[in-house]
Homo-oligomer: A and B are copies of this chain.
Amino acid sequence: MQLMKERILREGKVKNGSILKVDSFLNQQMDIELFEKMADEFWRLFGDCNVTKILTIEASGIGIACLAGQRFKCPVVFAKKNKTSNISDDVFSSLVHSFTHGKEYEIMVSREYLLPSDRVLIIDDFLANGAALNGLIDLVRSAGAYIVGAGIAIEKAFQPGGDIIRNQGIRVESLARIKSMDENDGIEFY
């Protein structure tokens, strides 16, 4: 998606080699007009797949997923990262190892919101090592639901997550796939 690439080039900041800061439009300040166009693109890619539910993970996936949910006219469910008193005890859960934060955390979703009859599109902002996406896939499988695929805003394609998940036979569509990035040499896309 040309618009996403241009925006990353204009506003993205590379830090410490592998961190890409895009918080001016994607994951702290959110450009809703851009999110609408991303939703259009996800619809172009997955619009014929009879998606019944969009699954994402808190926090920065939620905004993108909600605009996509508007386009797909289906509910959006987000996996929570910590068990709180607001969530039912009856959950699907999966353990995720975060490379960014160097720790493991549990993600979970109430069983009642992922059904065997669901056709699930997973939406997230980043795909790098694939840890969060693998966890979300795990939740969908636990529910016995069908995984239509994953729609990702930005894939760091120089990290292994995308390959690992595509090799499982899961369709992954990323709006921008970064080939390489560097503080000095800038960002290159596929």
> A-side interface residues toward B, CB under 8 Å?
19, 21, 23-24, 27-33, 35-36, 58-59, 62-63, 65-67, 69-70, 73-78, 80, 84-88, 100-101, 109-110, 112-113
B35 touches A66 (CB 8 A): yes
Alpha-carbon gap, A32 to B69, bound state (A)? 6
**From A15, which residue of chain B is reached at the shortest CB distance?**
B85
A30 touches B77 (CB 8 A): yes
A84 touches B110 (CB 8 A): no
Q: How many copies does the complex hold?
A: 2
Alpha-carbon gap, A166 to B84, bound state (A)? 29
A100 touches B80 (CB 8 A): no
Contact of A32 among B19, B21, B30, B76 (CB under 8 A): B76
Give A28 Cβ to nearest chain B Cβ, in Å.
6
A28 touches B80 (CB 8 A): yes
Q: Give the chain B neighbours of A28 by CB distance below 8 A.
A: 77-78, 80, 86-87, 109-110, 113
